[in-house]
Structure 1
C-alpha cells in the first residue's frame, strides 16, 4: 500500500515537473517568436529606407541629367542631348521599377523565412537536433 502511494506520488511529481518544463518551453518559444517578429520588422523598415534612398539618388541623377541636357540643347549639341535623353529614359524606368516592385520579393522572402524560423517548426527542430548531436 505504501509502495503504491509512493509510486503514485512519484508519478504525480514527475507529471508536474514535465508540465512545468512544457510551460517553460512554451514561454521560451513565445519570446523567440516575438524577438523574430521584431527583427523582421526592423529589417523591413531598413530595407524600405534603403529603397527610398535609392529612389532619391536616382531622382537627383535624373534632375542633373535633365539640366545637362537642357544646357547642351541651348549650346547647340543636339547629338549629345539625344544621348542624354536615352540615359534619362533609362533612369526614369529604373526609378519607376524601384517604386513599383522593389520590396515585394523581399517581403515574401522575409515572410517565408519568419515562418521557417518559428520555434516548433519541424524544420527548426530538425536543424536543432542536428546541432545538438554535433555538440
Structure 2
C-alpha cells in the first residue's frame, strides 16, 4: 500500500483563514472584491468566452417535418452535434410519439426526421458538411 504525505495530514483542519480573502474562502483566480470595475470586466469576458464556447460553429436547421429549429454543428461526416431547445423538443413529432409510449427521450439517439433534414441541409449547401468555424479555444 502506498501512503502519500503532503503539507496537510488527515488530522489537520483545512482552514482557509490564511487565504487573504475577506470571506476566508480560497480561490484559484482573484475575485477583485476591492475593484468592482475589474470584477465587472472579468465577468463580462467570462460570459463572452462561455457564449463563444457554447455556440461556436452552430448553425440553425429547421426540421422539414415538424418545423422545429435546432442548432447544429457537423464535426465530421459521421459526427453531428445537435443543440435542442425546449420549443423544438416539444414540437418534435418523433419525440412526442416516444413520450406517449413511455420512453425517456433523453435515452433516444435522435430524431430520424431531423437527421434527414440535416442531411438535406448539407446537400443543399445550407449547412457545412464539416464545421469551418475556428475552435473556441483560448482565442
TM-score using structure 2 length: 0.28
More helix by share: 1
More strand by share: 2
Q: Pick 1 or 2: higher relative contact order, CA cutoff 8 A, min separation 6.
A: 1
